[in-house]
Each structure stands twice: as structure tokens, then as C-alpha cells.
Amino acid sequence: MDNTSFFWSSNLKFLRNRMKMSQVALAEKLDISRPKVNTHENGHVKNPPMADMVLFSDFFRMSIDTLVKVDLSKLSELKLRDLEAGNDVYLKGGSIRILATTVNNDNRENVELVPVKAKAGYLSGHSDPGFISKLPVFNLPQLDVNRKYRMFPTEGDSMLPVPEGAFVIAEFLQDWSGIKEKTPCIVVTKEEGISFKLVTGRIKENRSLLLESLNSLYEPYEVDVMEVLEVWKFHSYFTENIPGPMSSMEQMGRDVREIKATLHTLAKKEK
């Protein structure tokens, strides 16, 4: 790592002093030893372990990239408060996330297909050009050539009526700060891998994304943006299965969801 942009040690010390904490107090908060805090702050760790970097990043609520690449001591108080409020450029999903991709003979980006058998490997290989280059590729004339798309398989029943086994075509989102309420997306996280959810951005409030299923049997939950690897906005899907007739219970569930959505819209208009 280039030491000219390596501000890890000085930033840790700067933020600790900014919070008026001693090394002992910080060590207690992080459940590590004081000498370990001291070693990081004094620059004795040239290549900090990822586990330690995540630990400090989570505590100070700033991305690892900011802690490494930005000299926080040179920023204005306004900018520091802006970062602490959640407006970290690296947490938006852009700036430093370089997407591994492939192109065709015309130098246009392909649409890579992530087969079911490659789904597990995608978690560790999503940023590896070698892994991505081995994925099947295709092109569809209706897709915007100026946007990046990828196709992912779906599993489970959390996104019914989109059936299990369907393939979702989605557009790569580099900036997550503008994700609107209940935007259907493919979300790739460190814990769950690839999932298809309705996403609501809560980055400014608490640096998280709210993930919901179309299937009301599943409860919504939040995931910290530091746990998110990629976000792809839904474009379309295809399936080889012909939809069967909807059961009375499925119809009732859909009717209830539509009523709830209508009431939610009316409540917003009254405010």
C-alpha cells in the first residue's frame, strides 16, 4: 500500500483525541488490549489485518477507505461533521469500487450471467477479473449500452411473485446514496451473498440499507453499508416456467398488499 496516502495511524489517533478518549478507554470499547491500540496509532503495523480495520471502522463509523486514504486532520470542522453524519463518499458505493467486467469485440460491456453453480463463488470473486472473465456472457438489444448490467439467479420464495429459479437482469449502482424507497435490487452482502430485495436507503440516518421481501411472511431488516459489496437495480427478469393460476390465498395476499400500499400513499398525501 502506498505510504504517501496511508493515513491509517494518524487518523485513528486523531479521531480518538477528537472523542476525548484515552487509549485505555478505546481499547475497552473495542475489547482489545491498549498496546494493540498504541501499535496501530504509532504506525508499527504496516499492513493492518482486515479484522482490525473493520473493528476500528465500525467504531468510528467511517469507511476503511476514508480512514486509509483521507488525512482527516486537514479537513474543516464542517467536513468532519459531514463525515460523522454519514455523508462519507466511500460509503455511497462509488468512488473506489472498481467493478470487474468484460467487453465484447466492439469494446462494449457484456451482460455477464452468474449461473447457480457460480453463485457461492461470486461472493469472493465479484471483484476478481479472472473470475468474472469465466462467466457466460450475452447481449440484449433493449439494454442501454451506456449502462452496466449483470444477470443473477433467484432462490427461495422471499420475492414471490417473481418465481424461484428466475434470472434477474439488473443495472450496476455505483452511488447508493440516491436509492429511493423500496427500489427492487440485487444486493450482494458479506453475510448473505446474493439476494433480491426491495431496498430503501438509510445512509444519511444510520449508514444502512433497509431490505424487504415482496413476500410479507419475511420481516424487513437493515444491513450496514460496510457489509454491502454491490447493489444492482432491477431491470427485468425471465423464467422458463409458465405461471400457474393464482390460488385464493395468494390473491388475498396480493389484495392486502395493494390495500396497504394505497393507504400508505394516501397517508403521505395527507401530511
- Spans of the chain, pLDDT less than 50: 1-5, 94-96
Q: Tell me, what's the pLDDT at 96?
A: 42
pTM of the predicted model, to two decimals?
0.60
Q: How far apart are the C-alpha atoms of 151 and 153, rounded to whole Å?
A: 7
Closest CA to 68 of 162, 21, 3, 145: 3
Q: Tell me, what's the pLDDT at 152?
A: 94
DSSP code, position 36 = H
Q: How far is CA 209 from CA 38, 104, 160, 198, 226, in A?
A: 34, 34, 21, 10, 10
Q: Tell me, what's the pLDDT at 4?
A: 37
- Cell numbers at 255, concatenated: 389484495
The model's pLDDT over 40-90, given as tens digits with 9 standing for 90+, comes to: 999 887 778 888 888 898 888 888 888 888 889 888 777 777 777 666 655
Q: Tell me, what's the pLDDT at 45?
A: 76
- Under DSSP, is residue 139 helix (H, G, I), strand (E, B) or coil? coil
CB 137 within 8 A of CB 112: yes
